[in-house]
Amino acid sequence: KMGNATQKAELGRSTWKLLHTMAAQYPEKPSSEERKALYQFFKLLSRLYPCGECAAHFQLLLKQYPPQTSSRVAASQWACAIHNKVNERLGKEIFDCSNIEEKYNCGCDEEGEKES
């Protein structure tokens, strides 16, 4: 059982890292195609997430709090809030969402920034 819990936690950390980094990199002014893509990504993730119990809970959360796709800020704040909902359920600390975009900068900004 110890191994299972460790693997589940590891999968969770990796997934949250991806989700928050995606949101931090999402366009400030997304097209309707980009909006649809992000929305569907979260919906599909909630069906395909490898931990079945987690997926079931996440599906319910998404019904209550639909993915926000109108802008980078909206998506990042939504992802932080939904992660906090999971934190709450698991008895974890609530995370401060105010500096979320800086924390999850992936270092892969293609506009303006030259690789050095």
Q: Which residues bind ligand FAD (CB under 6 A)?
A: 8-9, 12-13, 15-16, 20, 49, 53-54, 57-58, 80, 83-84, 86-87, 90, 92, 95, 100
- Residue with the two structure tokens 């110890």: 2
CA distance 77 to 30: 16
| Residue pair 69/75 in contact by the 8 Å Cβ criterion | yes
Instruction: State the minimum distance, in angstroms, from the CB of residue 115 to ligand FAD.
Output: 26
Measured in whole angstroms, the distance separating CA 103 from the mean position of its chain's CA atoms is 13
Instruction: State the minimum distance, in angstroms, from the CB of residue 116 to ligand FAD.
Output: 27
Which of 96/109 has CB closer to ligand FAD? 96
